[in-house]
Every structure is written in C-alpha cells, then in structure tokens.
Structure 1
Amino acid sequence: MGNQDTRVRGLAARAGGWSARHRWAAVGIWVLFVVLAMGIGSAVGTVEVKESDQLGGETHTAARIIEDAGIEEPAGETVLVQAKDGSVKATDAEFRAAVGAVVKAVEGTGKVTDVTSPYDTKTISRDGRSALVQFDMRGDSDTAGERVEPVLKAVEGVQKEHSSLRIEEIGGASMMKQYDDAFGDDFQQAELSAVPVALGILLIAFGALVAALLPVALALTAIIATTGLMAIVSHFQPMDDTASSVMLLVGLAVGVDYCLFYLRREREEREAGRDPETALRIAAATSGRAVIVSGVTVCVAMAGMLFTGLATFEAMGLASLMVVAVAMVGSVTVLPALLSLLGHRVEKGRIPFLNRRRKSGDNGSRFWSAVLKGVLAKPWVSVLVAAGALLAVAAPAVGMKTQNLTLDQEFGDSLPIVQTYDRVNEAFPGGTGPATVVVKADDINASDVRDALQRFKEEAVSSGASRGPVEIKLHDAQNVAFVYVPLVGGSDQDKAGASLEKLRDEVRPATLGKVDGVQAPITGEVAGNKDFNDQLLGSVAPVFAFVVVFAFLLMLLSFRSLTIAITSIVLNLLSVGAAYGILVAVFQHGWGASLVGAEGVGAIVTWLPLFLFVILFGLSMDYHVFVVSRIREAHVRGLSTNEAVKHGVVTTAGVVTSAAVIMVAVFAIFGTLSMQSMKQMGVGLAAAVLIDATIIRGVLLPAVMALLGERNWYLPKWLGWLPDMTHDESPEAIAPAKAATAQNDEGAPLRV
C-alpha cells in the first residue's frame, strides 16, 4: 500500500479507481443521469432563439419593435409574369389576361390575402416585359411553406394556359417548401450516416464488435444527455437547430475519441502483460488524464463563441461545451466501470481478418516508425519542409473574401427557384429582398410623421438608393409603419450595401430623423447581413484572444512547460491557417472546386472562419494532449527526449490515426451536402483534422521537440509558484511490464 498515494494522485486516476471498485453503481448513475436529463429536457421543452435576439444593431431594434407591437408579418409571395421575348409587353391584352388569370387563380385557393395587381402597384419593369403580382399567405409565416402547395399548383395551371409567357412564383413560403423538398432530409441523412461510418472504422481499428461498440455507445449517450440538457439550459440561453447539428458533430467526434484513447491504452497494457486491474489503473492515470486535459481545453475553446454576442453562435458554443463536458465525464467514470465489468469479454465478436494480432511488444506503427526515423535524423529539414508546405497551403487565406452567400451561391442551379430569383432581381433590382424601414411613432398618423414618410419615399428614389416602387404599409393600431424599399444593386451585395448606407446615413436623417420621437431602424436581408458581419468582425479579436490565452494557460499548467505551451499554440494556429488556405483555394478561387461540387461560389460564408477557428483549435488539442502526454510519460520514465518522442508518436499513431479517420469521415459527409455553407464547413473541418493528425503530429511536432531537446520541459524559476497539475502516472505506468501475454476467456491472445 506504500504506493497508494501516488496511484491516486490524479483526478482521472481517482475517478477511474472509484468507478472500477463500484462498477454497477457507476453504470447505474450514468444511465440515471442520461434518462433524467432527457426526461426533464423533454418535459420542460426547448426555447428557440427569437428573431429579435438573433442579431444586434438596427436589425435587433426593428425586430424588437415588431415583437413588442404584436405584429405578425405574413409570408409574402410574388408571381413573376414575364415575356419570353421582346414582342410582348405588359400593356398587351395577352399579358393583361395572364395577370388577371394569376390574380383569380391565387385568390381562388383561399390560402392568400391582399392580392395586388401590378397595374395598381406599378410593379412593372422599365422595359415593360415583366410584372409582379404580390400577395401574402394566410396564417403563421413560420409554417407558410406547409400551406403554399395549392397556390403553386394554381400558378402552374396559369403557366400551362399562357405558354408564350413565363409565369413563376417566388417568396418566403415557396422558397421554404422547395428548400425542404430538396434538402430537408440532407441533414438527417448525414447525421444518421455518421454513426455507422464511425462504427465501421472502429470495427477495423479494434477487430472486435464489443470494443467497437463501446466508443459509439458512450458518444451516443453523451449526445442524448446533452440534448436534454440543452432543452433545460435553453430557458436561460435559447437554442436553435444549428446548435443541435453542431452538438451532434462535436459530440460524436470527441465522445468516440476519448473512449478510443482510454480503451486503446487499457488493451495495450494488457497486451504488455499487465493484469486487468493494473491495466485499467494505468489507463485511468494516463489516458484518463489526457482526456480531462483535452476536454477542459476543448470546453475553453468552445466557450470562445459566447463572446460573439450572436445568439446562434452563443447557442452553438454552449451546446458544444456541454457535450464535450458530458463525454469527458463519461469517459473517466462510466467507461472504467464498463471495462472492469466486461474484462476480456471486450474482445467478443471478433471479426476475421481484421486487426490481426501484432507480435508482443510491437505497439507501434511500421509506417510512422519509418517516417519518424527520417524526421528525427534530420529535424531541421523536416521542420523547414513541413512548415514551408503548410505556410504555402495557408497562403491563399491572406486574400479571403467572406460574405453571406446569395441564393445562387448557396444552391447553384440545383433549385428551380434560383433562376426565378435571378430573373426577378434582374427585372426589379432589390425586389426579392427589399430593405424594410420599421417606423415607430407616438402617433403614426400625425401630419409631421406622414409628411416625413412621404419625403422618405421620394428621396429614397431621388438619392439613387432605390428605383422604386417604394411601398408604405400602415399599422394604425400599433402606431407602426413599414416602408419597403427595393435596393439598387439587387443580388450584388456590395452595391446593395452601398444603397443601404445611403438610406441609413443620408435619406433617413434628412426625413424621418427630423421628427421627434420617431424610431426608424432599417432591416431586411441586406441590412441583416451587414449587421451580422459588423457584429461578427467586432468579436473576432476577443474570441481569438480568449481561446489562445486560456489554451496556453491550460497547457502550461497541465505540462508545467513554457515550451510545450508555446509550441502547442503555434502548431494549432498553423493547422487552422492551412485549413483556411484550402477553403479559399477551393471555394473562392475554384481550384479543384469541381471535385466537391463548389463551382462558381467565389467566397467563404461569413460565419465560417470564426466557427472553424474555435472548433479546430479545440479538436486539435485532442491529439496534441494525447501525444505529448505519452511523450512526457516516456521522458519521466527516463528516456531521452528523442527516444521519448519516438516512443510517444509511434505508440499513439494507431489511435490517433483511427480517431482522425473517424473525424474526417464524419465531417466529409457534411461536405457532400448540397448547401455550400455546409459543404464549406465539412471540407474545412475534414481537411484540418487530416493535416493535424498527419503533418502536424507526425512530422512537425516530433521534429520541433527533437530540436528543442531538454528545453521542451523548460519552466522558468519565476513560474515555479504555478500549481502542479502534472499528476504523474502511477508507478506501474513507468515501470516495464513483465514479459507475459494476457489471454481472453477463450484462451486466445489479446490484440491491440
């Protein structure tokens, strides 16, 4: 018992030891936690992010005015009636007959209200070849897509009767329906296929069904529990569907990784001749500790999203943080209990020809052994070549152009409505996404307010910000007015943004701004994009600083090495930079874009760089902590730095490769989706993880550590006051194992 204090020194070792001694209690507590979290979450329900809380700035102010006034804006729809050639004009009888038929057809469905003729609203294009019939869908705008089909059918019927004209419908409801029809199952299929993909890779890695099922089971239970916790937490921090999707991705990735690290180490120790109890204790003290360090670091990185001030990002950050924390706790508590209960039965369900047993003591990888031999022989060359290659890959990121993708950029030609969107924007610039001025006054019908509204309408056109028609819609009871202003520039975001600035900075101050007590925030698609971009750009510096500084401090405390902390940050930043470079090269410059179906996008979606930084910085720490922990363990055991580096990288190569392949495969599934924003996210994550697990961990990290030698473990004397969180492994982990081969219940040697 003399070594007992050393064995239980670390938190992970203590948790693993308790779990192994109280196996059924640990499993029961975990199951109860998952059931209670899901049950309570289902009972209280989920609070969704309100539109008024989505953004700051004028968009937020406008949404708040509408919400406080209790105004329910209906889903607006538009039918484009357009001559296919120049021989037919809107003044012709045939054209008029088609417009009348559209009005009659949509009114006849009983699903619409406020149908207007272009001859009354003057929504006829300058060339006289196009006109817009406009109306609103009855009922809740959020569910209008479910009720729009009869209206679409009615418009199709009119199109068949007037083949010489182009008659097409577009609007919030019809776009919602086409989107759901085309891509509604995309996310669900991607999420569902991620689990069998991960399981298949684990089967190859472990060669046994039970061992492969454990990581998937842990990840899934962590995701289920977090889903319930998200519902509970949503009453304080509202959640949304995006947060749920990101939580599933991150939960599956880290849940499988943590269990994989732990299980591999336990199997490795048994293969080396340890008895099951000792093997489990060593796994708890080593891999368990790495899981805690990694998990806390990932949580800190995810917490960076809370500094954006954007409700969707805050929801994603909190959901990701929770699932990582739950997976981390599960890995160091219930997993040791399950391994203790299963014992050698973890080898059950062996699959022939997969993962054949290696010779005893051959815990490394021949491939990585060969790579490392060259890397450690010429570390300077390795650093220069690898770092140079990654910097070259990262170089295109310098010219990164970010923007909120337009409909045609997001979906290309995959949706028929995209062509309609382009035609309407060409004939009526800004018509598909007008700016909306939400005017709030003490008395909206006061003469000075009505005069200011009229002057605003006139100057919006005379200033060049709009070509009209500008429409004013009064809500007398609420003393609110909506002014709809089609912006010059249409779908060209730069030009439309300049038109918006004219409205905000010139037209509004000269008109509505001169009336006391009037609020007139300007919202709409272009305004929302601008406010989002401004808020996002303003949060980049604090988010980056928070993540980098706290990750640095955690690494410094965990390894008590200033050198390790600095190299960790630099290597992670290099990995993220390379991912940015690949994104820009493929999606902005179009290099190899046809391989992933990304032709003609020309930009990176605005939210992605910050999102990728936070996610990748967190996930990269998984591998880094795991590999460096193993190197440090070998160094503590007495190996030289070069020998420790070789031992650490080679012995972790299999598990890091397996974990990376799972992550790359799961993220790549999202790279196959039709939406360019999701495709960019999937490709960016997959590329970064692949680079991180190969070039960074297999070449740069060992080469840099080989060059630094004993300086890797340098801690200045003036930092000696820092708390010691190294929690060195148990004596069994440092002492060599007896030469023995553990056997399973059937008498067959165990495999790693």
Structure 2
Amino acid sequence: MTERLARACSRHPWRTIGAWIGALVLAFAAIALLLPGKLTSNGGAAGNPEFRQAERIEFGAFPYNPRRDFTDIVLVRSSRYTIDQPAFRAFVGNLAQEGRATGKVHDAQIYYQTHDSSLVSRDKHALIIPISVYDTSDIKPINQLVERNNGRAGFETAITGNDVRDNDFDQLSQDDLKSGELEFGLPAALIILVLVFGSVVAGLVPLLLAILAIVGGLGLVAVVSQIWELSIFVVNMLTGMGLALGIDYSLFVISRYREERTGGREPSEAIDAAGATASRAVLFSGSAFVIAMLGMLIVPNTIMRSLAAGAILVGVTSLAAALTLLPALLGLLGDRVNSLRIPLFGGTSEGRFWNAVVRRVLSRPALSLLLASSLLIVAAIPVLSLKIGTNGVSTLPDRFVSKQGYLALQENFPDATANPVRIVVADHASDPRVRSALKQLQTRLAGDPEFGPGPVRFAPGGEVAALDVPIRGDDAGDQALTAVRNLRSTVIPDFFGDTGARVLVGGRTAENVDYADSVTHPTPYVFIFVLGFTLVLLTLAFRSIVVAGTAIVLNLLSVGAAYGLIVLVFEKGIGNGIFGFEQVDVIEAWVPLFLFSVLFGLSMDYQVFLLSRIKERYDETGDTTASVTWGVATTARIITGAALIIVAVFAGFAKGDLVQFQQMGFGVAIALLIDATVIRSVILPSAMKLLGRWNWYLPSWLGWLPRVAIERSAA
C-alpha cells in the first residue's frame, strides 16, 4: 500500500501539493474561527469527582455572596500610612475607580464600605480588596492597573488569585513555546538534520513537513475542542511532538531514498523502493505510537486527555505528510534534495564508531550487560521516593504578578485566600448530632496550623450546611494536598462517622487532590495496555516472543532510569542548578504516566528500525554476532540523528520555566539519550549475543500468527 501511495504521489506531485494546500487552508480557518477561547488552563479530573459534587451542592444551596465567592485578591500596603489615614483612603478610592473604569470587575469588597475587619492587616498598614471578574481574559487590564500603581505615592500594590494565576500560567506556556520549542528546538533540529544529511536542502525538507503537520494538527485540535474540553498545554505538546515525529519520519524516508539512489536506482524507482521499505516501517511505527498514546485516554483527566489528543492528532498528520507529501516533493526535487552540500558531513564515520563500540562490547557480553544494566538500575533507585502532586503558584518565576501577590499575601494576610477548603454537609444537616459534629470540626480546624477559622452556614431548609476554611500556603502545594487528604480520610470520618451524614470536601485544593488521583489510579490499566500492546505488536513484527520481551525489559530500564533521574534532579535538587531547574516538593502528577506512554511509543521507531535490520542480516547469515554488529553500524547515523532531534526538541521544553514541562522535557530527553546510547550499543547487543538462536524463539502454539513484513524487499 505504501509503495503504491508513494508512486501515485510522486508521479502526480502537483495534485498532491494542491490537496495539501487545500487542507492547510481549512486548518488555518479552523484555527482562526474555532480555537480562540476554547482551551482551558484548568486540568481537573473529568466526570463527577468529590470536589465537583461539593461545589455543585454548595452553590445550589446557598445564594451568591460576593464576600465569600470572589476570584482574586488585590493587596494594598504602605509602610508610611495606616488604613485610617486620608492618604490611604484616597489611594484605595482612586484604585477602585480605575478598576470600575475597566468594565471588567463586577464586584469588589472595599473595607471603607463593608468595614469588614478581616480585610485589614494586624499592623493596619495593609488591606485586601477581594474582587470578582467574569473570565480569566478579563484579568489582564486589572493586572496592568495593579502594576501601574505599584510604587506610586509610597504604596505597594499586588494581586493574586484564580484568574491571575491562570492568566500567568497561560502566558508562561506561550513564552515557553516561543523560547523553547520554536527558538531552541526548531533551530537545533535543523542543525542536526543538516549534519546528518550533509545537505541544507535535505535538512530543510523534514523541517518543512513537520511545520505543515503541526498546522494540520492544530486545525484538528480546533475541531476536537468543540467536543472535548482541552488544556492550553495541548498546543505545547502538539508543537513539540510534531517537530519530533514529523522530522523523524521524513528522516527515515529520505535516508532510504538516498540509499537507493546510491545503489544505482533511478529517482522514480528509488521513491518506489523507499515507499515499499522506509514508508512501510514509518506507517508501522507511527501507528504503534498513536495506539500507545490511546492508552492515556483511559485517564479521566483533562490534561492527560489533552496531551494524548495533541500527540495523536499530530502523529496522524505527521504520518500523512511523510506518506504523501514527502514522495511528491522527492518527485519534484529528485537529486536536488542533496543540494547545498556541507563538506565532511553526511558520511559513514559514525557507523564505524558504533561498529567499533559494539565489537568491543560483544567480546565480553556478560560483563558489558551486567555493568550497563547495573548502572541503569542504580539510576532508577531514587524513584522509590517519588512523590506525585501538583506545582502551583509558588513554583512560578518571580516576575509573574500572581507569584508576587502570593508572596505579599502570605506575608501580610496568611489566613486570606481566594480558594478556601469548602466542607459541605450534603444531607442531614438539621440533625443535632451533625450540627454538633460540624461545630466541633470548626473549632478543630480553627486551631489547626494547616487551616484556619471559618464560618458555618446552614441553607434554607436546614438539610445542607457548609464550612469554608482557609488553607495555609500554596493551595496547590504538597503540604496543602496532604492536609486535605488527611481531612477527607481521617478527620471528617472521626467527627461524622456515626451520624449518617454525607460530608464532601471541595475547593481548589480538593480539586488538585482529585486531579492527582484521577491520574494515578488508572496507572496500572495504562501500563497493562501499553505493555500488552507492545508485546503483541513486536511479536507479530519479528515472530519472536523473546525479542518482544527483551525490547519491553530494555524500555522499562530506560524509563526507570529516567524516573530516578527526574526525582534526583527535581525533588532532591542534585544537579538542578546545572540545568537551571527549580527544586520542588513533587513531580507533576501527569508527568510519569505521560513519559511512560510517550517513551514506549517513540522507542518503537528505533526498535523497529534496528531490529528489522538485525533480523534481515540474521536471516541471510544465521550469525547473531555479525548480524547485531552490522545492524547497529548501518542504522547508527539515522538512529543517532533521530534521537538527537527528539532530544533537542524536548530539551526545548526543559529550557522553559514551566516546572511540569521542565520535568517532562528532561525525562524524555534523558530517556532517549539512554536508549540511543547505553541500550542500543551495550545492553541490546550483549543480550542478543548471549541469547543466540533463542532471540528468534516463537512457541509452536503461536505459529498461527500472521506474518507481518515491516520492510518488504523493494521490487
């Protein structure tokens, strides 16, 4: 099929290009008309988790109260004036007037109107103004207003809260996309491509196809966003994965085309041969990647489903570009794809280097296997102290207003928050035992260093009650999440266990707890899906259960080592300064599971490419040692180049300031470096040498399996 498709596209290149132009016009239209305003910065659990039940019951039972239901907090402080002095009152009055003039604030609680003493600091040199805006986008003029007035007339102003934080995370993801993937990853990938091919034109073609695949993928995201709620992070993931996959797939096909031309085939025949071999392998590994990413859709979580959707959609468009548009471009360019050659590059010296490495390894396979495996196992040991959670406003760079406001609020109003813990008694609140338990809980939490005092409210009818209490510190931090988990699992059952009342815990921190649980609880099912799928696919591809099992074990080694190094760098802070990373308390909840799925999907490219060459040689010679050496040497330049491109792209993620993308980018980059060096050159050759003929063992009861030719011989 891939050969016929390549032949048709290369013989009618302008029709193919015209079809792609039409598709890209539709993609741009979808991006412009459907995508704006459809992506969310929230990444909560999907479905009906406890926090959502609590909020629905509370907001349904109690009328809106601006003193309680606000979104953000403006803080005003003066070291010179107290809040009772005319200068302070005048400054706040002017600030409020400017805020109303923006038309974005629909409610503001000002001390001089409400006389609520909780809005004033103990030293009376600061006050807070709880405000409500309609949408995250509406907070931008308020941020500008606060920044403009900060430092004016001896007053300090700051702002923090839900919309400010969400806006800053949106802005940071855009900044990281620009500075990481586009300004770093894309140029680095181009340099690697030019060095691998030894030609500027051959290097530019994969980059062009990757960019077109990204545009097509974004168009599909715009359509999907009308059906599903998608996170803003889908854009970052789609861009990074589009660069990695789009370039890698084109790299494999162009390399095979050039190889066939060197072997004496005519340009049209070389395209057909590449279509029958490399394109077929690309279709196999690309389909495997897409199916592996489908496992993440099991997870009932907006971020995970968004990342999976971005990777799947750009995987599909990258495949489409490599299988259709690339043959058309090769049909037009012919040997001009090798134009603008770079001296000294694009040769076979790298193959000779890896050939020498593998020969040395195979001279002592048992020792090589033991030492290399031990190294990766030691690297994986820190994973035993892996802590899963979320990274909130406290992990933002200090330049963001929400971080500055958070620090100012913690210093002046440690009990104030726009995100209280919302404890809701959903039924039987009129029962005297329930009321007594609620009062006791109120007293207990008022004296708890993790929480603070809060009012008890009873809804009309008396069957629903609520207690809103502040949470200390970063409401998304590890300490806050631990406190809410303990509240749910221990404290509330102790007070309400024998009352028969249903008590729920909601609020932003509870939402983060449910978000983390929604990612971690389905993990075993995702692992089973990905591992089982990989085993079946590789067994079909190579008709060997041993090769499939070996590949899975090696992937687990590289993933485990990556997990351990992430914990070592980010949690333990060992070497984080070298990379410019911030030490944090936890690893973002979605990162480990995402890494697992992505690395198994991406490593399929290299496994298939390398093992198919080894199997091809083994079928000819029956010599395991010679086949492994030949396979590693002949694929060295392409696999090294492909791995370095993905490392460069994901290093762009790590280069940004968003902690979860730093963790993800570092994890993917380090795992692929391990996979392309230690695994490929030491562990895999050693294991295959020791296994010998057992490498190709298939139990007789599996003899009925169909024969799947990944790269059939070109006619």
Task: Give TM-score, length-normalised by structure 1.
Answer: 0.82
Residues 437 and 649 of structure 1, relative CA distance in 2, 3 Å threshold:
same
Aligned partners of 2:409 and 2:389: how far apart in 1?
22
Match of 1:114 among 108, 114, 117: 108
Structure 2 CA distance, aligned partners of 1:650 and 1:257?
19
Counterpart of 2:285 (choices 288, 294, 300) is 294
Task: Indicate the SS of the match to 1:353.
Answer: coil
Match of 1:147, SS? helix
Give the structure 2 partner of residue 327 of structure 1.
318
* Aligned partner of 2:478 among 493, 504, 515: 493
The range that moved more, 136-145 or 34-43, is 34-43
Cα separation, 2, equivalents of 1:512 and 1:434: 27
The answer on 1:312 being equivalent to 2:298 is no
Given that residues 208 and 347 in structure 1 are in contact (C-alpha distance below 8 angstroms), is that contact kept between their aligned partners in structure 2?
yes
Query: What residue number does 2:192 align with?
Result: 201
Residues 284 and 710, structure 2, Cα contact 8 Å, conserved in 1: no
Structure 2 residue 174 is the aligned partner of structure 1 residue 187: no
Q: Matches of 1:451 and 1:108 in 2, distance apart?
A: 48
- 8 Å contact kept, 2:45–2:518: no
Given the alignment, which residue of 138, 148, 152 partners 1:153? Answer: 148
* Counterparts in 2 of 1:451 and 1:34: CA distance versus 1, 3 Å: farther
Match of 1:355 among 345, 356, 380: 345
Q: Secondary structure at the match of 2:471?
A: coil
Match of 1:399 in 2: 385
Task: Give deviations 1:489-528, integer Å, cap 9, x for gaps.
Answer: 7666336633564378655996899799xx8743223212
CA distance in 2, matches of 1:52, 1:242: 9
| Alpha-carbon displacement from aligned partner over 1:602-645 (angstroms, at most 9, x marks no partner) | 43222211111111111111111111122222223446222222
Q: Residue 375 of structure 2 aligns with which residue? A: 389
> In the alignment, does 2:45 pair up with 1:57?
no
Closer, same or farther: CA 330–481 of 1 in aligned 2, 3 Å: farther
Task: Within 5 Å, give how 1:402-417 maps onto structure 2.
Answer: 402-408=388-394, 410-411=395-396, 413=398, 415=400
* Map of 1:530 onto structure 2: 513
Q: Which amino acid aligns with 1:460?
A: Q
1:74-473 paired onto structure 2 within 5 Å: 74-79=70-75, 81=77, 94=82, 96-97=84-85, 100-101=89-90, 103-111=92-100, 112=105, 113-117=107-111, 120-123=115-118, 132-154=127-149, 156-157=151-152, 160=154, 168-175=158-165, 184-193=174-183, 194-348=185-339, 350-355=340-345, 358=347, 365-408=351-394, 410-411=395-396, 413=398, 415=400, 418=403, 420-422=405-407, 424-425=409-410, 428-429=413-414, 431-432=416-417, 434-437=419-422, 448=430, 456=438, 459-463=441-445, 464-465=447-448, 468-470=452-454
- The answer for unaligned runs of 5 or more in structure 2 is none
SS in 1 for 2:669: helix
From the superposition, tell whether residues 371 and 197 of structure 1 become closer, same or farther in structure 2 (CA, over 3 Å): same
Rounded Cα–Cα distance in structure 2 between residues aligned with 1:490 and 1:312:
20
SS at match of 1:620: helix
User: Is contact 2:478-2:585 (8 Å) kept?
Assistant: no
Paired residue type of 1:79:
L
Q: Is the 8 A contact 2:77 2:157 kept in 1?
A: yes
The 1:267/1:430 distance shift into structure 2, 3 A limit, reads farther
Which string of whole-angstrom CA distances, capped at 9 and with x for unpartnered residues, describes residues 15-48 of structure 1?
3344344444444444434434444565555744
Conserved in 1, the CA contact under 8 Å of 2:429 and 2:464? no
Q: Alpha-carbon deviations, 1:30-78, whole Å to 9, x = none?
A: 4434434444565555744596975451223356568989979653214
Q: Percent identity?
A: 34
Q: Which amino acid aligns with 2:97?
A: G
Q: CA deviation at 1:245?
A: 1.2
Contact 2:458–2:464 (8 Å) recurs in 1: yes
Paired with 2:494 and 2:10, the residues of 1 have a C-alpha distance of 71
CA distance change for structure 1 residues 474 and 598 in 2, over 3 Å: closer, same or farther?
farther
What is the alpha-carbon distance in structure 2 between the residues aligned to residue 621 and residue 553 of structure 1? 13
User: What residue in structure 1 maps to residue 9 of structure 2?
Assistant: 19
Residue 535 and residue 136 in structure 1: after superposition, are their counterparts in 2 closer, same or farther (change >3 A)?
Answer: same
Structure 1 Cα separation of the partners of residues 83 and 23 of structure 2: 66
Deviation at 1:182, TM superposition (A): 7.0
Q: Structure 1 CA distance, aligned partners of 2:297 and 2:351?
A: 41
Q: 2:549 aligns with which of 543, 562, 566?
A: 566
For 1:79, what is the secondary structure of its paired residue?
A: strand
The 2-side partners of 1:263 and 1:377 are apart by: 34
Paired amino acid for 1:533 = A
Distance 1:431-1:607 versus aligned 2 partners, 3 A rule: farther
Residue 621, structure 1, aligned to residue 637, structure 2:
no
Alignment CA distance shift 1:731-1:672 (3 Å):
closer
Output the CA distance in 2 between the equivalents of 1:471 and 1:83: 31
Change (3 A) 1:209 1:105: same
CA distance in 2, matches of 1:52, 1:175: 13
| C-alpha separation in 2, matches of 1:61 and 1:447 | 16
CA distance in 1, matches of 2:431, 2:181: 52
Cα gap change, 1:212 to 1:653, in 2 (>3 Å): same
Alpha-carbon distance in structure 2 between the residues aligned to 1:139 and 1:155 = 24
Q: 5+ unaligned residues in a row in structure 1: which ranges? A: 1-10, 85-92, 733-752
Aligned length: 697
Return the letter of the residue paired with 1:191: E
Greater Cα shift, 51-60 or 208-217:
51-60
Cα separation, 2, equivalents of 1:195 and 1:534: 35
Secondary structure, in 3 states, of the residue corresponding to 2:230?
A: coil
The code of the aligned residue for 2:560 comes to G
Quick check: 2:293–2:308 contact (8 Å CA) kept in 1?
A: yes
8 Å CA contact 2:571, 2:584 repeated in 1 = yes
Preserved contact between residue 302 and residue 317 of structure 1 (Cα < 8 Å) = yes
Q: How far off its partner does 1:687 sit?
A: 1.0
Specify whether residues 224 and 548 from structure 1 end up closer, same or farther in structure 2 by C-alpha distance, changes over 3 A only.
same
Q: What does the per-residue CA deviation read over 1:90-137, in whole Å, with 9 as the maximum and x for residues that have no partner? A: xxx835337645542432324353324299434279975775423214
Aligned-CA RMSD value: 3.8
Q: Which residue of the partner structure matches residue 715 of structure 1?
A: 698
| More deviation, 433-442/658-667 | 433-442
